[in-house]
Amino acid sequence: MDIELRHLRVVCAIADAGSVTKAAAVLGLAPPALLTQLGRIERSIGGRLFDRDRHGARPTPLGDLVLARARLLLPAIQGLQAEASLLAGAGQPTAGFRLGATNGPIIGGLVQRLSAHHSSAHVSTYTSWSAEELAGMVRAGRLDYAVIGVCGDAMPPREAGLVWRTVAVDAVCVLMSDRHPAAAGVEVDLAVLAEEQWANAPGDGCFNDCFSAACARAGFSPKRVFETDVAGCLDLLAAGTAVVLCQGTFRRLPGIAMRPIAGTPIRWRHLVGWHPGQVTETGAATVLSHAARAYQEVVDRNPTYASWLAGCPQLGLRQPATV
C-alpha cells in the first residue's frame, strides 16, 4: 500500500487526540475501523507508529519522524490545493459536474443522465475507495460532488462546510452460486453461512466492524474476510473460495444469486455531498434528483430485489426523482 495524504491525516489525528478512541470520534469512524487503518499504515511504513496502552497512544521514534514530515506536507498540500482552486476559478459556482465516486450503483446512471439532460455542461468523474479522500477533494474545490456510501447510520466524512444528503438506503446482500443451498429462499439467514469465507470491496468506513457485529449476533465469527476489488470478489466467488457481500442494487449475473440478509442487520446509505460555496442550489438539486432517478433505474432492472424492497419501507429512495 502506498502512503497517501489521508493516511498522514490519520496519524496526525491520533497524535493530536492522544488516543485511538478519541481520534476515531473526531474522524467519524468506529475505533476498530481506525485501528485497522493504523495497522495497514504501520505495515506499509515498516514499523509501529504509536505505543498504545490504557493511558492512550504515544508516538514511537518512527512515529515522531512520520509526524514531523506530515505536519510539513499537509499544510503545504492544502495551500497548494487552495491556490490551484482559486486560479482555476473553483471558488465560483460551476456550471459543470465534476463527480467523485466510491463503488456504488448510482454513478453510471448519474453520468448518463447529466450528459443527456445537460449537454452543454462538462461531466467528469474521479474514482476512489476512500470517501475521506473524495470529501477532501470537494472541500479543496477539485470536485463538485462526492457520491459515496456509508454503513448504516455512520456519519459521512466531516470535512468543514460540506452538505450531505441521503439518496437511498440499500440492504446489504450476499452473492453466491445459484446452486448454493442458501440460494433457495428469498432471503438468507446469516447463521446459515457461518462456515463460509467472505469477500467484499475495500473502504475506509466501519463496514467490516458492522459485519463482524452482525455475525456475532448470529452466533459466529466470520472465518475470513477477503478485501479486494469487485473483479477480485467475483473471481473468489467463481472459484468457490468465498461468498460476497454486496449492495442490493448489484447487477444481476448469470449463475449467481443475490439474496438479502434476513432481518436486514446491515444497511448501506447512498449519499451525495457538496460544498454550498462551490455549486449553486439549483445544481445540487439537479444532481440529487438525477441520482435518485439513477438509483431507481438500477432497482427496476432487478425485479427480484425491487419486489423484496417494496416490502421494506425503511429502505429504498429517500430523495424525490423529479427529472
CA 109 to chain centre: 18
The radius of gyration of the chain from alpha carbons, rounded to an integer in Å, stands at 21
pLDDT string in tens for the chain (323-residue length): 578 888 898 899 899 889 888 888 777 777 888 888 898 899 989 999 999 888 889 999 999 999 999 888 887 776 676 556 555 554 445 567 999 998 888 899 999 999 998 888 889 999 888 888 899 999 888 899 999 999 888 888 887 789 999 999 999 999 999 999 999 989 999 999 999 999 998 877 788 888 999 999 999 999 899 988 888 899 999 999 999 999 888 888 889 999 999 999 999 999 999 998 888 888 899 999 999 999 999 999 888 899 999 999 999 998 765 54
Q: List alpha helices for 151-280, DSSP H.
A: 207-217, 230-238
The Cα–Cα gap between 203 and 209 comes to 12
pLDDT for 154 equals 85
Cβ contact 143:99 at 8 Å: yes
Spell out the residues 6+ positions from residue 107 whose beta carbon is closer than 8 angstroms to its own. 99, 101, 125, 147, 294
Full-model pTM = 0.72
If 0-12 CB within 10 Å is exposed, 13-18 middle and 19+ buried, where does residue 307 land?
A: exposed
Q: Distance of CA 222 to CAs 45, 196, 257, 262, Å?
A: 28, 7, 20, 17
pLDDT for 155 equals 86
DSSP structure class, residue 188: B
pLDDT for 260 equals 94
CA 285 to chain centre: 22
Cβ contact 70:12 at 8 Å: yes
pLDDT for 85 equals 55
| β-strands 163-177, 316-317 pairing | antiparallel
Cβ contact 122:97 at 8 Å: yes
Q: Grid coordinates standing for 19?
A: 488516543
pLDDT for 51 equals 92
What domains appear along the chain, each with residue ranges and CATH number?
A: 5-86 (1.10.10.10), 92-323 (3.40.190.290)
